[in-house]
Amino acid sequence: MTDELKDIVYADLFRYTGNTRRYKNIYACYLEERMSSPEFSYISTMRRTRYYYDQIAKHDGFIKKLYKLKFRFMNFRLDRLSRKYHFQIPYDTDIGKGFYLAHFGRVIIHPKSVIGHNVNVSTGVVIGTQFRGKRKGSPHIGNYVWIGANAIIVGNINIGNNVLIAPGAYVNFDVPDGSIVIGNPGLIRRSPGATLNYINNTILFDEYNVRSDGVRQW
């Protein structure tokens, strides 16, 4: 496992365990993955599938063939886990570090969606595309966002940072930073502490340099 891949996988693992330990042996990491949760197992497999796919275009000859084999194996495993746990999150979806699936169960995310760092997604969530109209496209979701069970987020919209999407909410409009969205149709309520105590074991990153309790330098 390369340093690039380790950084993102361990960041996701930290969200589940709060453990900053890094393993010298990749198999020890796999064991931790299996023991942590099926949700993290899916995320880790998704990350590795994406990484191996990206490496194919960066290499030639034998190394390229090797990455193709690794990609096919991981993609096969990802498909099996998808069928088992009902996650439909394609490997090529742009998802930041510290991604957290709260429970295994149906979760659908369109591959054109963009998701930031330290985002929690609950069971039954749909993050989808809109095929026509002024909001044609897929959502862009910021950092420190908590998405409750059975929430639906659709269209070419921007969800800001530090946003809580309440369970069952329907969101097809832009949401500013520091907000809570409730209901169907969704209503915005401004709240500076929208995600306080909802997103735990968060990681710190350069793009959105927020320091608060529970935010640690990774």
Q: What is the CATH number of the domain that holds 198?
A: 2.160.10.10
Both tokens assigned to 2: 């390369």
Over 50: is that where the pLDDT of 22 sits? yes
**Domain end among 87, 111, 140:** 87
**CA count, 13 A, side-chain hemisphere, 110:** 19
C-alpha span between 101 and 119 (Å, rounded): 9
Over 90: is that where the pLDDT of 4 sits? no
- Region 177-192 average pLDDT: 95
Over 50: is that where the pLDDT of 217 sits? no
Both tokens assigned to 159: 């969800």
Beta strands in 89-214 (DSSP E): 94-95, 100-101, 107-109, 114-115, 119-121, 126-128, 140-141, 145-147, 152-154, 158-159, 163-165, 170-171, 179-182, 187-190, 202-204
Q: What is the pLDDT of residue 50?
A: 96
Beta strands in 8-156 (DSSP E): 87-88, 94-95, 100-101, 107-109, 114-115, 119-121, 126-128, 140-141, 145-147, 152-154
Residues spanned by the domain of 68:
3-87
Cα separations in angstroms, 218 against 67, 113, 207: 28, 25, 13
Note whether 108 and 211 are same-domain residues. Answer: yes
C-alpha span between 10 and 135 (Å, rounded): 35
Cα separations in angstroms, 73 against 10, 68, 211: 21, 9, 39
Q: What is the pLDDT of residue 1?
A: 60
Note whether 207 and 108 are same-domain residues. Answer: yes
Note whether 27 and 129 are same-domain residues. Answer: no
Locus of tokens 């074991």 = 201
For residue range 44-64, list pLDDT tens digits in order.
Answer: 999 999 999 999 999 899 999
The chain-wide mean pLDDT, for the chain, equals 88
Note whether 21 and 106 are same-domain residues. Answer: no
Note whether 44 and 150 are same-domain residues. Answer: no
**Domain end among 87, 109, 142:** 87
Total domains in the fold of the chain: 2
- Region 67-82 average pLDDT: 96
For residue 103, name the pLDDT band (cuts at 50, 70, 90).
confident
For residue 37, name the pLDDT band (cuts at 50, 70, 90).
confident
Peptide bond into 185 cis (omega under 30): yes
Note whether 156 and 139 are same-domain residues. Answer: yes
- Radius of gyration of the chain from its Cα atoms, rounded to whole angstroms: 17
Q: What is the pLDDT of residue 105?
A: 87
Contacts of 6 by beta carbon, 8 Å cutoff, 6+ apart:
22
- Can you name the residues that pair with 181 across neighbouring β-strands? 165, 188
For residue range 110-146, list pLDDT tens digits in order.
Answer: 999 999 999 999 999 999 999 999 999 999 999 999 9
Note whether 51 and 81 are same-domain residues. Answer: yes
Which among 92, 109, 89 has a CA at the least distance from the CA of 49?
92
Q: What is the pLDDT of residue 213?
A: 36
Note whether 198 and 171 are same-domain residues. Answer: yes
User: Which is higher by pLDDT, 14 or 172?
Assistant: 172
Note whether 199 and 114 are same-domain residues. Answer: yes
Q: What is the pLDDT of residue 207?
A: 45
